Each structure stands twice: as structure tokens, then as C-alpha cells.
Structure 1
Amino acid sequence: MSDFGADTPAQRLEIADDKDVVRVRQAVRVAAVAAKLPLVDQTKLVTAASELARNTLIHGGGGYATVAGVHNGRRAGVRADFVDEGPGIADLGLAFTDGYTTGSGLGLGLSGSRRLVDEFEIDTKPGGGTRVSVTKWAR
């Protein structure tokens, strides 16, 4: 696996099947350990990344993730981006409602992921795909 230090170049991981979701989860865990995130925060970040990678696959038709160690001058962290060229999200407000799902899941993917990380950004447009960026900082 890659060595993730602060401000490392992003590792790009394709997301085309379930095995790729596992690879993304593993890469995020390696980066979280390298950033010295506490175990609880490692678990939160890996859980969010797993949900977002699965969304990229299921709702976006596949895409890619990038994972990188980052530093803001005071502390280290991990940033993960999830990008697809799928149908986009027509109603973000509805998509962030706990329990809302367009599939067979629990409807906690986006809203749950947002609660698990320190920074959460989403850019989506109907017909234009979706990009979700999450960051978790060491305490």
C-alpha cells in the first residue's frame, strides 16, 4: 500500500465494482493511520468513504475516488473525493433527509457520511454527475 504523509499526492482509485469499494476503504484506512487519526476517527472516515464509494458505484454508475494526506498548518488529516458522471442528484435537500433512498439501502449514505467527517462538500447537477469531498482532521 501507499505511504500517506501530509500533503501527499492523491491516489486515484477507480470504482467500477464491489471489489473497488473495498480497495477504496482500505486506502482510506491506510491514509487515516498515516495521518495519526484516533481509532474512532479512522472508523468514522472509513465508514463515510465506504458509503460514498458505494453511492458512486450504485447511483453514479461508477467513477473514481482520490485519497490524499493533507495538512492545514496545525494538523494532519485525510481528504477523499468521490466523482461520478451519473445522473446527478435532482433534490439535494431530499437526498440529505434521513431515511430517504432511491435504492434498497437505509437512506443514511449522504446524511450519515456528512455527520461522520469534519468537512463535507458536494457538487451535483442533474445530468452532470456528482463530486463529494470529505476531510477528517487529526485531533
Structure 2
Amino acid sequence: MDLAWVRQHVRQAAAELGFGLVDQTKLVTAASELARNTLVHGGGGQVESTVLQNGLARGLRLTFTDEGPGIPDIERALSDGYTSGGGLGLGLGGARRLVHEFSLDSRPGAGTAVTVICWVAGPPRQRKEMR
């Protein structure tokens, strides 16, 4: 239920900010992978969502935190082809490629925090009603 909520929340927030369908899908896919990692490997945790504004550009920052065992080898975890099994097959490296900004802070025994940001430029798109 929590993973479904994260996906739904991220898609709705991205749509409201004017992200196109492709960019919405990229961000939702990255968020789904990171939320799953937080749940499975971190034993649960939190996600924080923040709307950003930089001139005409709007963005969405998502921060996933847990108090799990941490990641012992960050470079390996970010490398292509690395999997801990059972996920989307995307991994941290794939999630990193789907967003504009990516940061990861993890220490063994101290948990993990992953922050991603995606940007969209221009004024928000107006929703059109069809009759």
C-alpha cells in the first residue's frame, strides 16, 4: 500500500507541476525503485516531497530516508548490472539516470538517504476540461 501511495503521489505532483507524460513516468519509476529499496533494504522509512521554484523552472525534490543497515559499497550499488535481487531490475544507477539531480548518503549501520530532483521549465500547464 505504501509503494502504491508513493507512485500515485509522485505522479499527481509531477502532473500538477506540468511534467509531460514521459517525464512523469521517469520520475515515478525512479521513486518506485527508491521507495522499494527503503522498504526492503532499509526496513521502512520516510519520503519527503518538496516543490521547488527556480525562475520559471519548477521542480520536485524527493528524499527517501531509512535507518537500515546502510550501503557498504556505494560505487558497486550504483554500477550497471548490480542487483540485490527481486526489484524492478532498475537499481540505484538506473534511478539516477532517470532524474536530473541525484545524491546518496549512506554509512554502514547508519541508514541511507537518497535525494532526487526533476525539473520542468515554463509556466504550469492548464488542465482543459473536455465535454
Task: Name the TM-score class by shorter chain.
Answer: 0.7 to 0.9
In structure 1, runs of 5+ residues without a counterpart are: 1-18
> Which of 110, 115, 118 is the equivalent residue of 1:136?
118
Query: Relative to structure 1, is the Cα distance of residues 106 and 100 closer, same or farther in structure 2, using a 3 angstrom cutoff?
Result: farther
Alignment match, 2:105? 123
Instruction: Find the counterpart in structure 2 of residue 111 from structure 1.
Output: 93
Match for 2:19: what amino acid? L
* One-letter amino acid matched to 2:29: T
For 2:63 and 2:5, locate their aligned partners in 1 and report how far apart those are by CA, in whole Å: 14
Q: TM-score, length-normalised on structure 2?
A: 0.87
Query: After the TM superposition, which residues 31-46 of structure 1 pair with which residues of structure 2 at under 5 Å, given as runs?
Result: 31-46=13-28
Offset, 1:107 = 4.7
The answer to whether the 8 A contact 1:56-1:62 is kept is yes
Determine whether 1:55 maps to 2:34: no
The amino acid across from 1:128 in the alignment is A
| SS in structure 1 of the partner of residue 38 of structure 2 | helix
Structure 1 residue 99 and structure 2 residue 87: aligned? Answer: no
Contact 2:10 2:27 in 1 (8 A): yes
Contact persistence 2:33–2:88 (CA under 8 A): no
Normalised by the length of structure 1, the TM-score is 0.82
Per the alignment, residue 76 of structure 1 pairs with 58
Q: Does 1:29 align with 2:11?
A: yes
Partner of 2:128: none
**CA-atom RMSD, angstroms?**
1.2
Q: CA offset at residue 106 of structure 1? A: 5.7
Is the CA contact 2:42–2:111 (under 8 Å) kept in the aligned structure 1? yes
- Give, in angstroms, the shift of residue 103 of structure 1: 3.0
Aligned identity (percent) is 59
Give how far 1:99 is off: 1.9
Q: Which has the larger radius of gyration?
A: 2
